[in-house]
């Protein structure tokens, strides 16, 4: 595994090339949203390791977290990475990319150099990006519903979609939300209160861009051999990681792909939830709120409408200081039907990159999705 990761790191340019390096077939698709953003989907139609897979294959759609991209699910490779494990198990795997990240920087009329391009939060991702992507995938595969996996902001988008567009409940077979960001009353960002206030004061703009072909300063700095250990140590300190949980090889890859670019409004929207017991829409200020919502304060997302075909699976940890155990249990109280899966020792980022993620998280997810399909076909 680690030799493979070293080779990937040495020439890495994109997730599709990582897939090709492991002999997994890959396709790239473009989807246009109702407000004219053009999103890139990465499709893994089959696996070199899958035999006698049923046809048509059940579909799994996966969505990354804030500042990530479809690459985030691919970095740890075939032995433990969820997209590979799902493809090996005979599923048709699709990876989404939210507006504004490395793969989704196009718009039919606007240029990302202009501030108007960045006038969005994860609200628009849930009400526009995710529905457009899911409809495209179901149309391409001639199926009526699919399985959903979402990490952090990928979980946020899912809850926004089903609460605001409840007709999509019928299009979800099973759902698996890892480190699900919704209620954040005791969130720890590690930024400090002064920095958070500065962030909240910014207007809409692009933050944390990392476009392929333009290496980030972190990628250049950390590629120098004497600096690798220092970069790894700083990374683990910032993210609150146990030194045994994430390998240095993975950290170097993460620094090449993250951050993938976000709108400042995405982070501002999360910070607005901090310290409250609400999961609500974006706060534009009282005057604009009255024009948009008809009230001085943004309304809560109506989670009572979140009712997919099967219980929502929530995966959480006691060691996650971004999405705490308390916040996930509060979310569970608000959902009509869900199942809780406790992983005691994961920090937030370890839900994607921990050494043991294949055993503790990804294979159990594959097992639950497979069981659903088996029971359904009896």
pLDDT of residue 186: 82
pLDDT at 214: 41
Domain ranges of the chain: 15-377
pLDDT given for residue 302 in this prediction: 98
Q: What is the pLDDT of residue 224?
A: 55
The model's confidence at residue 257, banded by pLDDT at 50, 70 and 90, is confident
Fold type of domain 15-377: Rossmann fold (3.40.50)
Q: Is the torsion defined by CA of 284, 286, 290, 293 positive or negative?
A: positive
Res 9 pLDDT > 70: no
Confidence band for 212, pLDDT divided at 50, 70 and 90: very low
Cis amide leading into 259 (omega within 30): yes
pLDDT band at 377 (very low <50, low <70, confident <90, very high): confident
| φ, ψ (nearest 5 deg) of residue 5 | -65, -40
Please tell me the pTM assigned to this model: 0.90
| Least confident piece of the model among 121-125, 195-199, 243-247, 328-332 | 195-199
- pLDDT score at 228: 54
Burial call 315-335: b when 16+ CB within 10 Å, e when fewer? bbbebbbbbbbebbebbbebb
Return the structure tokens found at 310: 């099967």
Q: What is the pLDDT of residue 249?
A: 76
Residue 239 pLDDT: 52
Q: Are strands 146-151 and 172-178 parallel, antiparallel or unpaired?
A: parallel
Known catalytic residues? 152, 320, 348
pLDDT in tens, 63-119: 999 988 999 999 999 999 999 999 999 999 999 999 999 899 999 999 998 889 999
221-235 in b/e burial notation, b at 16+ Cβ within 10 A?
ebbeeeebeebbeeb
In the chain, what is the straight-line distance between the N-terminal and C-terminal CA atoms, in Å? 37
Q: What pLDDT sits at residue 11? A: 46
- Burial annotation 104-142 (CB, 10 A radius, 16+ → b, else e): bbbbeebebeeeebbebbbbbbbbbbbbbbbebbbebbe
pLDDT digits (tens, 9 = 90+) for 33-60: 999 999 999 999 999 987 656 678 999 9
**pLDDT for res 187:** 77
227 — pLDDT class (breaks 50, 70, 90): low
Radius of gyration of the chain (CA): 20
Mean pLDDT, residues 322-350 taken together = 94
Mean pLDDT calculated for residue range 282-306? 96
Which tokens belong to 316? 């959480």
- pLDDT the model gives residue 201: 62
| Dist CA 68 CA 180 (whole Å) | 15
């Amino acid at each position: 595994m680690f030799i493979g990761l070293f080779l990937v790191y040495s020439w890495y340019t994109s997730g599709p090339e990582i897939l090709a390096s492991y002999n997994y077939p890959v396709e790239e698709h473009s989807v246009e949203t109702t407000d004219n953003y053009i999103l890139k989907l990465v499709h893994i139609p089959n696996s070199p390791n899958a035999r006698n897979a049923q046809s048509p294959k059940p579909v799994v759609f996966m969505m990354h977290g804030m500042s990530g991209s479809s690459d985030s699910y691919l970095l740890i490779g075939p032995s433990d990475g969820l997209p590979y494990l799902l493809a090996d198990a005979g599923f048709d795997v699709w990876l989404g990319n939210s507006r504004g990240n490395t793969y989704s920087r196009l718009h039919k009329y606007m240029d990302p150099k202009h501030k108007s391009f960045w006038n969005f939060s994860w609200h628009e991702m849930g009400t526009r990006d995710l529905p457009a992507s899911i409809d495209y995938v179901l149309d391409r595969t001639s199926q009526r519903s699919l399985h959903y996996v979402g990490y952090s902001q990928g979980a946020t988008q899912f809850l926004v979609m089903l609460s605001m567009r409840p007709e999509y409940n019928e299009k979800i077979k099973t759902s698996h939300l890892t480190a699900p960001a919704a209620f954040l009353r005791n969130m720890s960002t590690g930024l400090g209160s002064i920095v958070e206030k500065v962030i909240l004061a910014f207007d809409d703009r692009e933050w944390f861009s990392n476009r392929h072909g333009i290496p980030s300063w972190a990628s250049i700095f950390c590629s120098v051999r004497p600096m690798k250990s220092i970069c790894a140590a700083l990374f683990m300190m910032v993210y609150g990681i146990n030194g045994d949980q994430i390998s240095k090889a993975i950290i170097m890859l993460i620094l090449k792909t993250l951050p993938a670019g976000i709108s400042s409004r995405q982070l501002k929207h999360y910070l607005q939830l901090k310290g409250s017991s609400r999961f609500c829409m974006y706060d534009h200020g009282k005057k604009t709120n009255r024009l948009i919502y008809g009230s001085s304060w943004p309304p809560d997302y109506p989670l009572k409408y979140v009712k997919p075909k099967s219980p929502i699976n929530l995966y959480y940890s006691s060691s996650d200081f971004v999405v705490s155990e308390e916040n996930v249990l509060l979310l569970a109280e608000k959902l009509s039907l869900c199942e809780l899966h406790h992983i005691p020792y994961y920090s937030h980022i370890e839900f994607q990159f921990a050494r043991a993620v294949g055993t503790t998280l990804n294979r159990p997810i594959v097992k639950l999705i497979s069981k659903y399909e088996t029971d359904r076909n009896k």
